[in-house]
Amino acid sequence: MKVIVIGAIAGGSTVASQIRRAVPHSEIVLIGRDPEIGYGTCGMPYVIGGLIEDKKRLIGTTAEKFSESKNIKTLVRHEVFSINRKDKTVEVHNLDTHETFTESYDKLILSPGGYSRVPELNGIKNLPLFTLKSYADMEEIIEYIQKEKPKSCAVIGGGFIGVEFAENFIRLGLKTALIERNDRVMKVMDIEVTDILNQEMKDNGVELYFNDAIERIEGKTLMMKNGVNIDVDFIAASVGIIPDTKIATDAGLSIGSTKGIVVNKYMQTDDPDIYAIGDAAECTDWVTGKPKRVQLAWHAHRQAYIVACHLEGKPVALNGFLGSTITKLFSLTAAMTGHSAKSLDSEGIAYKTVQHKGRSNAGYYPDHGTIYLRVHYDSESRLILGAQAVGDKGVDKRIDVITTAIMGKMTVDDLSALELSYSPPYSSPKDPVNMLGYKAT
Ligand SMILES: Cc1cc2nc3c(=O)[nH]c(=O)nc-3n(C[C@H](O)[C@H](O)[C@H](O)COP(=O)(O)OP(=O)(O)OC[C@H]3O[C@@H](n4cnc5c(N)ncnc54)[C@H](O)[C@@H]3O)c2cc1C
């Protein structure tokens, strides 16, 4: 069996490795546009901020080493520009030599990710505008900062990449304004949580411009819709990643309502010999079963495993995503899984909410923190539908425990009975997760 994988970063390099393990005698060709393969995209904001000093640490291996150690033909700086489903071939363009050639496949896997949406800004001429999706984008930002020594910047967009941008620019000593057209950062979370995050941003010196947008730019001055003027040396925008579905669309594969490539629970597109994974694939929501596209690394890795199992002949189904996610914001961590109050409202699902604010671990222990947890549960079945947490310690484990509870189809009341490990540095004899179960009415 000959397998071609398109895209060689998170989903692509992972699926190629997984297939080598699952189907040892297959011939695998991995094709990616970037010069690097499988680098740690998620670490890029921290390289920009200098927390990770050596950018090369994000790169696990080179194309040559990967190719040699895994027996996977790895073509970097190559782009697939069309798929011929009838002949089962792809057309490939070498971005350095400009040669084109044809490769045949038995199975084709698409992991093309997406590209950054670039905001249209009236009057932007001399002001540098950056986005962050690839290693090259990261290098461009670092080079600019090192060379031009800017003093100030504006971040457009208060999603998770936007807040990571802001934190890392503050770390570099830059005067940082964050512009968000909504009324808060991380709008996927409940307002009770984002109020805490907004305050954390302010306390750390980020100037927040909510319900606002740039009307026009004059020189280096941003003229805001709400009438304020902000002087900046550059702009970093994080206003969405658009799934890269062009070759899939051209090949006649179905694109769904989330603008992702439609797949079944084994990641097969409507052509059974073509699979799609990662940011560009449209999956389903764990709770509602409706189309959902999650642009996160765990999900790409899981989908890679599912494809490899299917090719091996030992299928494992993907039963929907909760969209579990976690972000560091200065001294705080914020995490969520499943549905927020807003998404439940828009789905018309009747739910109740239980919340708990308290210590992350024993108050008499020197290193104790605070944690705020919210859990939404079905009013009738009492099944947990979503959870959010923010705090300075232990947020990750609480959200992960609740994620496990959701996937184990536990009710909110079951949380009180969870036998969770305890000693003063880590928890209390009644863990905050237990408290949610005790408090739920
Ligand atoms: C700054 C940043 C921080 C992030 N932080 C986190 C985090 O903390 N946690 C988390 O879970 N997720 C995070 N993510 C998201 C995560 O990186 C993505 O979900 C993941 O990389 C998606 O994997 P993918 O394989 O779908 O796409 P990518 O990893 O984007 O890989 C797609 C590759 O395919 C190439 N390609 C596309 N079309 C073609 C073609 N026709 N021919 C050849 N090559 C092609 C692209 O150029 C690209 O190199 C972050 C993303 C960014 C940008």
Find the CATH number of the domain harbouring 368: 3.30.390.30
The CATH number covering residue 252 comes to: 3.50.50.60
What is the structure's pLDDT at 218?
A: 95
For residues 110 and 303, what is the distance between their CA atoms, to the nearest angstrom? 11
Q: Which of 312, 347, 374 is the last residue of a domain?
A: 312
Domain containing 292 equals 2-115+241-312
Q: Average the pLDDT over 211-232 and give the result.
A: 96
| Res 361 pLDDT > 90 | yes
What tokens does 414 get?
A: 């079951």
Confidence bin at 131 (pLDDT 50/70/90): very high
Contact call for residues 291 and 4 (beta carbons, < 8 A):
no
Atom of ligand 1 nearest to the CA of 115: 30
- For residue 420, report the distance from its CA to the centre of ligand 1, in Å: 35
Query: Can you give the pLDDT at residue 102?
Result: 98
Question: Do both 107 and 132 map to the same domain?
Answer: no
43 Cα to the center of ligand 1, angstroms: 12
Q: Measuring from atom 3 of ligand 1, which residue has the nearest CA?
A: 42
168-202 residue pLDDT tens: 999 999 999 999 999 999 999 999 999 999 999 99
375-403 pLDDT per residue, tens: 999 999 999 999 999 999 999 999 999 99
Residue-level pLDDT at 125: 86
- Which residue numbers are catalytic? 42
Atom of ligand 1 nearest to the CA of 327: 8
Q: Are residues 214 and 278 in the same domain?
A: no
pLDDT band for position 141 (cuts 50, 70, 90) = very high
DSSP SS3 for 15:
helix
Give the pLDDT of residue 29. Answer: 98
Domain count across the chain: 3
| pLDDT category of residue 90 using cuts at 50, 70 and 90 | very high
Residue 324 lies in a domain: no
Q: What is the mean pLDDT of residues 293-302?
A: 97
394 alpha carbon – ligand 1 mean position (Å): 28
Which of 9, 103, 133, 246 is the pocket-test mutation for ligand 1 (most atoms within 8 Å of CB)? 9
Whether the CB-CB separation of 276 and 256 falls below 8 Å is answered with no
Query: Is there a domain that residue 190 lies in?
Result: yes
Q: Determine, yes or no, domain membership for 323.
A: no
**pLDDT score of 81:** 98
Q: Is residue 349 in a domain?
A: yes
Let me know: does 404 contact 433? Beta carbons within 8 Å.
no
Residues 225 and 303 reside in one and the same domain: no
DSSP summary character for residue 363: T
CA of 367 to the centre of ligand 1 (A): 37
Ligand 1 centre from 217 Cα, in Å?
Answer: 31
d(CA 390, CA 356) in angstroms, rounded, equals 11
Residue 327 pLDDT class (50, 70, 90 cuts): very high
Ligand 1 site residues, Cβ closer than 6 angstroms? 6-7, 9-12, 31-34, 41-42, 44-45, 79-80, 111-113, 132-133, 161, 244, 247, 278-280, 295-298, 300
pLDDT of 126 reads: 83
SS3 220: coil
Do 342 and 287 belong together in one domain? no
Same domain, 337 and 405: yes
Tell me: do 8 and 110 sit in the same domain: yes
Predicted confidence band of residue 121 (pLDDT cuts 50, 70, 90): very high
Residue finishing a domain among 237, 271, 293: 237
Q: Are residues 217 and 352 in the same domain?
A: no
Establish if 326 belongs to a structural domain: no
288 assigned to some structural domain: yes
Same domain, 285 and 230: no
Lowest mean pLDDT among 26-30, 124-128, 204-208, 218-222: 124-128
Q: What is the mean pLDDT of the chain?
A: 97
Which atom of ligand 1 is found nearest the CA of 11?
25
Q: pLDDT tens for residues 154-171?
A: 999 999 999 999 999 999
Nearest CA to ligand 1 atom 21: 10
Is 134 within a domain? yes
Q: Are residues 172 and 105 in the same domain?
A: no
Residue with tokens 């000593």: 173
Residues 134 and 205 both lie in one domain? yes
pLDDT at 78 over 90: yes
Q: Go through the chain and tell me how many residues it has.
A: 441
State whether 73 and 174 are in the same domain: no
Verify that 159 and 57 share a domain, yes or no. Answer: no
What is the rounded CA–CA span in Å between residue 183 and residue 158? 10
Q: Which atom of ligand 1 is nearest to the CA of 138?
A: 1
pLDDT, tens only, 396-416? 999 999 999 999 999 999 999
Residue 249 and residue 82: Cα distance in Å, rounded? 10
User: By percentage, how much of the chain surpasses pLDDT 90?
Assistant: 99
Report the C-alpha gap between 159 and 161 in whole angstroms: 6
Q: CA 388 to CA 306: how far, in whole Å?
A: 28
